[in-house]
Amino acid sequence: MLSIINTKTVDESTRFLIGRNILQVAEGGEFSADSILRNLSN
């Protein structure tokens, strides 16, 4: 899902909030967010 966002149009604050949301939903068991955290270096 993260891959469809155009990084050039997203400012720093939004990026930060996206990061917070990724962990929130991953902790809640969301599989796609889980996958992002397991492959952060990609």
Partner 1 sequence: MKRWNTEDENHVLNGILFEIYFNSRGQFRQRDFKCSFIDEIFSSENRNNFEKAFEFITNQIMPFDEFVFYMPFYPPTTLPIEILFKEVSDFYEDYDETVFIIESIKLHNVEIMVSAGKNHFGSVECTLEDFVKKISSELCIPKSQLRLTMNFKKTDLKNISYPFSLSLSKRVHTKLGLNN
Residue numbers of the site for partner 1 (CB under 8 A)? 7, 12-13, 15-24, 26-27, 34, 36-42
Residue closer to partner 1 by CB (options 19, 32) is 19
Report how far residue 7's alpha carbon sits from residue 29's, in angstroms, rounded to the nearest whole number: 25
Distance of closest approach, residue 14 Cβ to partner 1, in angstroms? 8
Report how far residue 40's alpha carbon sits from residue 38's, in angstroms, rounded to the nearest whole number: 6
Report how far residue 9's alpha carbon sits from residue 34's, in angstroms, rounded to the nearest whole number: 24
Assess contact for 2 and 18: CB atoms under 8 A.
yes
Distance of closest approach, residue 19 Cβ to partner 1, in angstroms? 2
Residue closer to partner 1 by CB (options 32, 37) is 37
